[in-house]
Amino acid sequence: MNKIVLVTGGSSGIGKVIAKILKENYFTVVIASKNKERLEKTAKELKVDYFKADVSDLKEVQNLIKYIVKKYKKIDVLVNNAGLASSKKIIDENYEEIDNIIKTNVLGVIYCTKESLPYMKDGIIINISSVAGLEGYNELSIYCTSKFAVVGFGEALKKELKDNKIYTICPGPVDTDMWKEYKITPGTKPEDVAKIIIDITKNKYKNGEIIKIYKKEDLKYI
């Protein structure tokens, strides 16, 4: 059987490209997203499996993992990609938005990892963090907080996990629709992130590694 991969936030942006390239490399891909319409459209386009789930909701994550395990019996690779961002001064942030970012970016990663681990052996967990998880940036305090947490989670798990490997990817700005809204075209492409994931599956990185990917000139955007 092919390796089974779960990509959260797989209906658009970086996640969609990750799913596409994994499929092209003969992985069996399941994408998850809370946007049903976009999820179904992407799954049809890429010819991959899918399941609607909001990673910030534990029950939905549990249902997602049950679906995969019932159908495929295992999970070989987990890509925790789903995430939200907000660019505001802390004084202007509203609590609902703060709650959504922390639940999605932090608890979502924890939920998916904890629920997947019983069904992973010699598996790979890949967490998509950010350069904003390594350094603070103006008007990104909540986003930075969430991404620092993802880096810390990976740092702890690399010492804790015995039967599975874990990696943290920290991109800078990536050329997705989010940046197009600001009429900005970053030099890093989603395909660059996806290539790193393929290289991880080929053991080209050390277990526990934090992998940075960005163009220096793009950091002026954040």
Which amino acid is located at 69 in the chain?
Answer: V
Confidence of residue 1 (pLDDT cuts 50, 70, 90): low
Q: What share of the chain is helix, strand, coil (3-state, %, to 5)?
A: 50, 15, 35
pLDDT at 211 exceeding the cut of 70: yes
How many helices (H) and strands (E) the chain has is answered by 8, 7
Domain with residues 4-221, CATH architecture: 3-Layer(aba) Sandwich (3.40)
- Quickly list DSSP for 8-65: ETTTSHHHHHHHHHHHHTT-EEEEEES-HHHHHHHHHHHT-EEEE--TT-HHHHHHHH
Q: What percent of the chain has pLDDT over 70?
A: 96
Measured CA to CA in angstroms, residue 210 lies from 19, 116, 143, 196 at distances of 21, 21, 18, 11
Annotated catalytic residue 26:
no
pLDDT at 26 exceeding the cut of 80: yes
Prediction pTM value: 0.95
* Model confidence pLDDT, tens digit, residues 142-185: 999 999 999 999 999 999 999 999 999 999 989 887 777 666 68
b (16+ CB within 10 A) / e for 26-45: ebbbbbbbbeeeebeebbee
* Model confidence pLDDT, tens digit, residues 47-92: 999 999 999 999 999 999 999 999 999 999 999 999 998 889 999 9
Domain boundaries, the chain: 4-221
Between CA 88 and CA 93 the distance in angstroms is: 6
What is the structure's pLDDT at 181?
Answer: 66
Of the residues 72, 111, 119, 143, only one is catalytic, namely 143
Between CA 47 and CA 20 the distance in angstroms is: 9
Residue 24: other Cβ atoms inside 10 A? 12
* Model confidence pLDDT, tens digit, residues 85-128: 888 999 999 999 999 999 999 999 999 999 999 999 999 999 99
Q: What percent of the chain has pLDDT over 90?
A: 87
